[in-house]
Structures are given as structure tokens and as C-alpha cells.
Structure 1
Amino acid sequence: MQDGLKVLARLFGVLARITLYISGTCLILMTAVVAAQVFMRYVIGSSIVWSEPLAVQFMGWFILLGAAVGTREGYHLSFDVLLMFLPQGVVRFLHSVSDLVVGAFGAGMFWFGLELARRTWSSKMPTLGLPDGTNFLPLVLGGLLVVLFSGERLLRRAAGMQTARFGEDMVED
């Protein structure tokens, strides 16, 4: 089982790294679009009509994909003071409950994001010409990744293996 989890950890490590690169690229692109809009508006005196909706699109991607990687790395919000005083078995149990709750939240993101995308797909954003449903695609993909990464954390904990630390693929050789 641990060999299979090592392969899974490597695959999810690659997936997390790709996701983080996409997230970072979207942050850079959003910054560039906003900078271009500021330059055009205050220096040239003319606005770019598509800058705000495009910047919001990029923002959704970098926030929700980054949050999914944060789930894998264990950076979601937590209150750890109590955990310092509890036995290790109880701490592992509470971490598993946390991963289950985060995974359920990710499932909700996926399910309801998919429903929002489906219901708004037929209308178009006037400035970009894209379906309105594209606004919810980061929610769908981010939710799916949260579910996958939470499941990976649960499997690894059940097998007695370490969970993520930033920048590691969680593989013991």
C-alpha cells in the first residue's frame, strides 16, 4: 500500500506544482492587466473596457487554485493551540476530521460551482464575449483539487505516512 501511496504522492506533487505555476501565472497576468488599465486610464486618458472582467477571471484562478495547493500542503486555517496538549493519537484523529471537513467543503465548491457554471453558460459577458459560466470554472477545478488533496492527506495518515510540507512531494525514500 505504501508503494502505491508513494506513486500517488509523486503524481499529486506534480499536479500541485503545475497548479501552483498556473496560479502564479494568473497572478502575474492579473497584475499586468490592472497595470495596463491604470496606465491607459491615467496616462493615455482612455480605458480598456475588458480589463476588469479579465482581471477578475485571473483572480479567481489564482486564488482558488492556490487554495487547493494550500490544502495539500496543510496551510488551510486551523487553531492549533489545543493540539499541543493532546495525545498524538487524538491529534491525528482531529487532523483527519479537519481533512474530511475541508474535503466536504471542496466537494461543495465543485458541485455548486458546476451548477452555477451550467446555469450561466448560455449568457455571454459583453466585454469579453466569453460565457458567464467561465467565471465559475476556477471554483469547479479548485473544489475538485481540494477533494483530491484532502483524500490524499487522509490516505497517507491512515497508512502512517507523513503529510505535506511546503515544497515536498511527501515521499520517503
Structure 2
Amino acid sequence: MTSVALATSVVARLALWLSGIGLVAMTALIACQVFWRYVLNDSISWTEPASVMIMGWFIFLGAAVGIREGYHLSFDVMLYVVPDRVKLWLHTVSDVVVIAFGAGMAIYGTQLAVNAAPNILPSLGISGAFDFMPIVAGGVLVVLFSIERIARRLAGLPTARFGETELED
């Protein structure tokens, strides 16, 4: 299990780095667009769609890493009043729901990408499928990281929980 956790840690770190690079790239593209439009009185046609596409990548990759690290949204009022064993089961139920959501992202995102593949994005000159690839990649990572959380819990290893600096037992 520790080798799997190490591998997913590398995947998560790579996804987080790509998200950060994407955020910087999107900011740079928008800054270029503003400069070209307001200083040079011209406009670059591809910066806006490219920025939106990059934004999709850093949002979905970053969200998947957030799920791995326990920063996803949760409604945990009941967790304050139930025994610790029940808490672990409820966290597992939550992870199963997240797996279903991630699988839906991957499946339906793939369908969207396949349907959009024949279309060409005019300003970028690439297939419309590229608009939906972040949803697919994010969904796959959400499923992978949620399965890892369940496996770690079943193996008795700690997993991160939202809002806590300590790992759960």
C-alpha cells in the first residue's frame, strides 16, 4: 500500500505542478491580451479560448488533488456526535459518492469529447475534444485518489480530512 501511496503522491504532485503552471500561463496570456488590445490597439484572437482551456485544466487537476488531500467539500455536523468507528464508515461512504461523481465526469466527459472531436476550434485550430479533456483527466484522478483513500482506510493507514492538520487514524 505504501508503494501505491507513493505513486499516487507523485501523480498528485505532478497534477498540482501542472495546475500551478497553467494558472501562471493563463495569467500571462490574459496580460498579453490586455497589452495588445489597449496598448497596441490590436487583439490576439487565440488568447481567450486558450486561457479558458488552460483554466479547465488547472481547475480539474487541482480539484482532484484537493480530494486526495482531504480538502473537498463536506458536511460533517453528524461526525461530531458519532463514535470514531462510525466516522470511518461515513468517510468511506463519502469517498464512494466522490468515486461515482468522478466516474461520471470521466464517462460523460469522454462522450462530450468524442462528440466534439470533429469540430475544429476556429481560433486555436485544434479539435473541440480538447475542451473536454480536462473533465476526463480530472474525473480519472478523482476516482484514483478516492479509491486510494478507501484503500488506505481499509489498510489502517491515515488519510487527510477536510479542515484538519492531523491525519485520521
Structure 2 residue aligned with 1:59: 55
* Distance (whole Å) between structure 2 residues aligned to residue 134 and residue 154 of structure 1: 31
Q: TM-score, normalised by structure 1?
A: 0.91
Structure 1 residue aligned with 2:97: 101
Q: 74, 79, 91: which is aligned to 2:70? A: 74
Structure 1 residue runs of 5 or longer lacking an equivalent are: none
Residue 8 of structure 1 pairs with residue 21 of structure 2: no
Structure 2 residue runs of 5 or longer lacking an equivalent are: none
Structure 1 residue aligned with 2:145: 149
Aligned partner of residue 148 in structure 1, secondary structure: helix
Q: Which runs of 4+ in 1 moved over 4 A?
A: none
> AA paired with 1:55?
S
Structure 1 residue aligned with 2:31: 35
Identical aligned residues as a percent: 54
Shift of 1:124: 0.1
Shift of 1:165: 6.9
> AA paired with 1:101?
V
Shift of 1:82: 2.1
* Distance (whole Å) between structure 1 residues aligned to residue 150 and residue 62 of structure 2: 20
Residue 50 of structure 1 pairs with residue 61 of structure 2: no
Shift of 1:99: 0.3
* Distance (whole Å) between structure 2 residues aligned to residue 30 and residue 80 of structure 1: 35
* Distance (whole Å) between structure 1 residues aligned to residue 105 and residue 152 of structure 2: 23
Higher relative contact order (CA 8 A, sep 6+): 1
> AA paired with 1:119?
N
Q: TM-score, normalised by structure 2?
A: 0.93
